[in-house]
Chains A and B, each alone.
Chain A
Amino acid sequence: MTVGRIEVSGLPVLEYKCPNCGSGMVFDSATGMLSCPSCGRKDNIEQLTEPVKKQVFEDKEIKEYHCTSCGAVLVTEPETSATTCSFCGSAVVLSDRLSGALAPALVIPFAISKNEAMQAFKKWCRRGLLTPRGFMTADRIKSVTGIYVPFWLYDLNHRVEAHGQATRVRSYVKGEYQYTETQHYEIYRKVQANFVRLPVDASAKMNDGLMDKLEPFPYQELKEFKTPYLAGYLAEKYSYDDEELLPRAQGKVRPYIESYVSSTVTGYTTASLIDYRIDTEVDLADYVLLPVWMVAYDYNRAEYTFAMNGQTGKVVGKPPISKGKVAGWFAGVSAASFLVLKIAAWLMGGGFL
């Protein structure tokens, strides 16, 4: 049975065989199409019909998946929803982990290929001002893995009421005295603050801080989810649902709300809003997959993990720090500042030495 060009065998393991030559097809980040590495055939994913969402799988935990190409057991973790067969290298998608409640609404496909990711990472390493020389050459990259990381995109509407104090300070001279007049106000603001597509990563494995720094993701690249986008990459299903992650989304949005409310307070010398009452309404929570290159790097018997935004190429992650370079920069910056201070003092009329 063929639906569009995707084989649906009733098994939860999907593979994309080239209709021309029978090779396994993978997603190509350069063209955004499903392409065949053997014969060069390219298929537009957006025109393919997607069978997975309609398909209903029996509600039982499947313990073992078999590669449809070679029949070997696919070694997967419980979260994995797309991977490659470790025996024959075929790109496979585990469709039962992408259907029903686990069906992503949208996906941002990779725009950076593995090779480009590697080059971009090496370039980033060279730019590090405090990274050790041996690290900058980036010749110990252990692995570069493209992962579609599960995120929830929240549309959150907030009705905010905030109370606080503000002051207006006026200063003037009268006779022999300098007067400082402070007017105190009690301020109140009622604000509607709506945020759209606030991303929160839903994978237990991924470091939250690392994922937060990867933002922003270009939302104009969001596509309706189709499984062929995952062909050739790793993908994970969410570990936490939208309700479980709501507190984290609220924590993330809180400083945004506070800065928005503060921006409505103008005309004061000092202003502080302390007492916030925030009513949150979840307008929408979309399950999406976002592209991330994970780079594992061995250096000095320790493994460092970096993440790269699969669309923008932004690299995040703590590189090792060279004590020598820190000392060098510290000495250099201090010496330069000392000279500047000396010259400033000299220009102001002090002696140079």
Chain B
Amino acid sequence: MRTKRLLLALVAFLLLSGIPAWIPATMAAGENKTLVYDEAGLLSPEERTELNELANQYGPDRETDFIIYTTLNPENTDVQKLAEDFYDEHGPGYDKTHGNAAILTLDTKNRELYLAGFYKAKTYLDDARLDKIKARITPYLSDDNYKMAFEEYLKTANRYMGFKPGVNPDNPLFNIWVQLGGALVIGGVVVGLMAYRSGGRVTVTGGTYLNHNSSSLLDQEDRYIRTTVTKTKISNDNNSGGGGGGGTSSGGHSHSGSRGSY
């Protein structure tokens, strides 16, 4: 009884002392960098703070700055150039200036967007993955639901960077619900089979009673009727979609990219 209470106290102590130690650690790591540059003024101050916090929260995990940059684009620059110039000028990066960064650039004048990944983000967010992110957020942007679009961008980019480069992050096998469902189906089939077979099985086949000596094929005729042909276009997933692809900024920073309009 006494030892039990002692043990309980110990557990409580560890929990209480562990939590405060853990909270400041995550808070301190962020120190909340500015990662949302809403020059076009699409967000309310509360939304901006919220997104900035989210971006700061994801950064350390992926060692990448997730940046949102909106501009009214007064000089009517190309959206890819806007993104590259932003990177060259501000020099963002989680690890160093001009380091790992993913940038969502929104040109409100031409209603165009550009997603770019630099360094680590270039590897982990290649063109194909950026295309997928673009496809996810474009509907929100078209509805002028910027808060949702940016949040989706941050979440998806963060999630995709958890997968090794080169694999399809939307592979259903990676989905926890598919994994769970598949496991339950396997469990159900196995147990169902066990229950079905518990009463004994038929172990004889036609071969058991077939007289092999006197049974034979007497006659056969196979007549050709016709040939049908179907064709499907081979979709080349690589580098397709919205005229995207990466490039190199004038500052000499190579990046992956995906562009589109909304």
Contacts and interface: CB of A to CB of B under 8 A. Distances in A.
Interface of A: 128-131, 157, 166, 173, 176-198, 212-213, 215-216, 253, 255-257, 259-260, 264, 314-319, 321, 326, 329-335, 337-338, 341-342, 344-345, 348-351
Nearest to A338: B183
A349 B164 contact: yes
B210 A177 contact: no
Interface in B205-262: 205-206, 208-211, 214-234
Contact of A321 (B198, B203, B234): B198
Nearest to A264: B217
Interface in B178-194: 179-180, 182-184, 186-188, 190-191, 194
Contact of A178 (B186, B209, B234): B234
B188 A330 contact: yes
A190 B163 CA distance: 58
Contact of B190 (A183, A329, A351): A329
Contact of B199 (A166, A176, A257, A316): A316
Contact of A181 (B210, B217, B223, B229): B229
Given A184-B228, A215-B202, A351-B162, A193 B174 contact: no
Contacts of B218: 190-192
Interface residues of B, number: 56
Nearest to A184: B225
A319 B196 CA distance: 11
A179 B203 CA distance: 43
Contact of B206 (A189, A256, A344): A256
Given A337-B182, A348-B171, 5 more contacts: A192-B216, A195-B206, A255-B206, A264-B220, A341-B173
A294 to B, nearest CB: 14
Contact of B215 (A190, A192, A216): A192
Contacts of B2: none
Given A188-B220, A337-B186, A338-B179, A315 B167 contact: no
9 contacts: A129-B194, A131-B198, A178-B233, A184-B225, A192-B216, A194-B211, A345-B173, A348-B167, A351-B162
A132 B88 CA distance: 72
Given A186-B223, A349-B163, A215 B203 contact: yes
**Among all A-B residue pairs, the 6 with the closest Cβ atoms:** A256-B206, A349-B164, A316-B200, A334-B187, A338-B183, A190-B219
B208 A216 contact: yes
Interface in B140-160: none
Nearest to B236: A176
A196 B211 contact: yes
B16 interface: no
Contacts of A187: 220-223
Indicate the member of A179, A192, A253, A341 with the most B CB atoms within 10 Å. Answer: A341
B195 interface: yes
B178 to A, nearest CB: 8
Interface of B: 162-167, 169, 171, 173-174, 179-180, 182-184, 186-188, 190-191, 194-195, 198-206, 208-211, 214-234
Contact of A130 (B195, B201, B208, B224): B195
Contact of B179 (A130, A177, A342): A342
Indicate the member of A131, A216, A338 with the most B CB atoms within 10 Å. Answer: A338
B119 to A, nearest CB: 20
A194 B214 contact: yes
A329 B173 contact: no
B209 A256 contact: yes
A337 B227 contact: no
Contact of A213 (B179, B186, B202): B202
Nearest to B167: A349
Nearest to B228: A182
Contacts of A194: 210-211, 214-215
Nearest to B184: A334
B220 A190 contact: yes
Contact of A319 (B188, B199, B234): B199
A315 B199 CA distance: 8
B194 A338 contact: no
B227 A183 contact: yes
A116 to B, nearest CB: 18
Contacts of A333: 186-187, 190-191
